[in-house]
Structure 1
């Protein structure tokens, strides 16, 4: 303060202005640091995913934090479904798997990685709901625990069968097969008619010369007028 009093008038005024502006600058810097700190840690998941019934899907996740990990960090990954405080379906440390997902859940994650994915096998229609990832880890400031707020909405669609044929295609195939069978085998009635016509023609060809010869002989032997 004594130094400020000893300074010339104009310099003294500038010094007072700087002193007045300093707290505001410090406050703004503090707010900026606080904002970044709030957004620095948390658990992140995709908002929506879609899977096909009978197939598998992975729900990816990642998390971040500003604290230094303890040794050992003792990380744990938990998964809930339906609601934020819903029932646990997976616990990495306890080996817990919900009975609905028996032999259908695989966690692709290794400690101390900060990202991974939960794989759900043989998707069922009842698997359509929201899934929340929760992370526990041990830091030098104590045990921290964070969970995704919105989670991931999983939608299950029905598989499209590729073996089914449309009725028109099936009908066409049956009709074609019937035509092919008809072409391969002659109709018995048509065969009989053809045989009869053949006999009649042959008989006519044989008998006609005989009748002509008889008429000629009769004409030769008749008495002259």
Structure 2
């Protein structure tokens, strides 16, 4: 009976060590399965990654993105500063060295942007250069924006223009108040002067 208990204990310990070993070998890239954006607006694709290896003194971590399929064209590379022609001035990566998460932002969404996106990671470890990427990727869906909606970049100027139109042809309240006060002072001065002249005239006539 004692030998049976020892064998069971040994099997449990081996299973635990095996599970721990598997956990140590886990690496991957996490992305949302689906995202939806409005044509003309912007969208952010968050990502994070994990790995079991010990980093080199200079890990040289690099983030790249592919689109359409797992082995599709590259649209971005943080190390090379590469951006696909289709995304010129529309693609930014919010990520810095040392971080294991970030955000890819696509500006001014177009109908053609509706496709799959895959994040790929490169880094230098004590065991050499490693790289891997998301297999499932993120499916981006683009919907048409309302014709009554304006681009956020134009809203501030539109508001300012509307405000300036509203005030055209109208006097400032402070100027109106100042004009009224000046008018009252002038009226009082004229009235006082007239009364004074009348009194002097009556006094002179009486003499």
- Same fold by TM-score, threshold 0.5 exceeded? yes
2:86 counterpart (96, 100, 109): 100
Residue 162 of structure 1: how far off its partner (Å):
1.4
Residue 18 of structure 1: how far off its partner (Å):
4.4
Cα separation, 1, equivalents of 2:75 and 2:102: 17
Is 1:29 matched with 2:41? no
Cα separation, 2, equivalents of 1:28 and 1:44: 27
Give TM-score, length-normalised by structure 2.
0.67
Runs of 5+ consecutive residues of structure 1 not aligned to the other structure: 1-12, 164-225
Residue 35 of structure 1: how far off its partner (Å):
3.9
1:46 counterpart (19, 23, 32): 32
Cα separation, 2, equivalents of 1:57 and 1:17: 60
> Counterpart of 1:211?
none
**Pairwise mapping of residues 1-225 of structure 1 onto structure 2 (< 5 A)?**
14=2, 16-38=3-25, 40-162=26-148
SS in 2 for 1:73: coil
SS in 2 for 1:20: helix
Give TM-score, length-normalised by structure 1.
0.62
Cα separation, 2, equivalents of 1:52 and 1:17: 65
Residue 65 of structure 1: how far off its partner (Å):
1.4
Residue 68 of structure 1: how far off its partner (Å):
1.9
Runs of 5+ consecutive residues of structure 2 not aligned to the other structure: 150-207
Residue 149 of structure 1: how far off its partner (Å):
1.1
SS in 2 for 1:80: strand
Residue 64 of structure 1: how far off its partner (Å):
1.1
Taking only aligned residues, the RMSD between alpha carbons, in angstroms, comes to 1.7
Cα separation, 1, equivalents of 2:104 and 2:37: 13
Cα separation, 2, equivalents of 1:127 and 1:21: 56
> Counterpart of 2:183?
none
Larger gyration radius, structure 1 or structure 2: 1
> Counterpart of 2:179?
none
Residue 23 of structure 1: how far off its partner (Å):
4.0
Report which of the two has the higher share of helix: 1
Deviations 1:94-138 (A, max 9, x none): 111111111111011100111111111110000000000000111
